[in-house]
C-alpha cells in the first residue's frame, strides 16, 4: 500500500514536476541529463547513476495555532549529485546544476517554491567507485497553508 501522508505526497509532487521541467532546462544550459531520480537521500551511488537528483524534506515548522487551524512551513532540499574525472569540469557542472535547479523551482514548477539557500559543499558524503563526487543542495520553502491540528 502506498504511503499517503502530506509530506510524502509533497515530495512525490516535486519530483514529478522536476522530471517534467528540469531536463529541458539542463539541455538548454549544456548540462548532462539526469540519470536517476530519488525520493530521499542516497549515500552509496554508482558513478553510472549520476547525475542524480534527490528530493527530501529538510524540515517543517508549524506555528500560528488559532483554534484547530495552524500554518505549516515546509522546507525541501533538492540534491544534485554529480561525478566526473576532471575536477574543474565537475565543479562547473555542479554550479550550473545549482543555477538551473533554482530557476526551475522558482519559475517552472507548480507549486512555485522560494529558494532559501544553495550550498555547493553540503554536509553530505556520497560514496562510490570514483573519488570525484560532488553535490549541490538547493533548499526551498513551500508557502504555508492552513490545516487542522492533528492532520497527517
User: Does residue 1 fall inside a structural domain?
Assistant: no
Q: What confidence category does residue 64 fall into, taking pLDDT thresholds of 50, 70 and 90?
A: low
Domain count of the fold of the chain: 1
* pLDDT grade for 150, boundaries at 50, 70 and 90: low
**pLDDT tens readout for residues 109-125:** 888 888 999 988 777 66
What is the tens place of the pLDDT at every residue in 133-144? 888 999 998 866
DSSP the chain: -----HHHHHHHHHHHHHHHHHHHHHHHTTPPPP-EEEES--SB--GGG-SEEEEEEEEEEEEEEETTEEEEEEEEEEEEEEE-S-HHHHHHHHHHHHHHHHHHHHHTSSS--EEEEEESS-S---B-SSS-EEEEEEEEEEEEEEEETT--
Domain-located, residue 33: yes
> Which domain, by its residues, includes 15?
6-148
Q: pLDDT tens across 69-108, in order?
A: 666 778 899 999 998 888 899 999 999 999 999 999 999 9
CATH of the domain at 58: 3.30.70.1700
Amino acid at each position: 500500500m502506498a504511503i499517503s501522508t502530506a509530506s510524502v505526497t509533497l515530495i512525490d509532487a516535486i519530483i514529478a514536476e522536476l522530471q517534467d521541467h528540469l531536463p529541458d532546462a539542463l539541455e538548454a544550459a549544456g548540462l548532462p541529463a539526469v540519470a536517476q531520480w530519488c525520493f530521499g537521500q542516497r549515500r552509496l551511488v554508482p558513478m553510472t547513476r549520476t547525475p542524480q537528483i534527490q528530493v527530501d524534506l529538510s524540515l517543517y515548522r508549524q506555528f500560528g495555532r488559532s483554534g484547530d487551524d495552524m500554518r505549516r512551513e515546509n522546507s525541501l532540499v533538492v540534491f544534485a549529485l554529480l561525478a566526473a574525472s576532471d575536477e574543474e569540469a565537475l565543479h562547473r557542472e555542479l554550479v550550473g546544476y545549482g543555477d538551473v535547479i533554482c530557476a526551475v523551482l522558482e519559475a517552472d514548477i507548480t507549486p512555485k517554491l522560494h529558494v532559501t539557500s544553495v550550498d555547493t559543499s553540503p554536509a553530505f558524503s556520497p560514496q562510490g567507485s570514483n573519488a570525484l563526487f560532488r553535490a549541490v543542495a538547493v533548499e526551498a520553502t513551500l508557502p504555508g497553508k492552513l490545516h487542522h491540528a492533528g492532520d497527517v
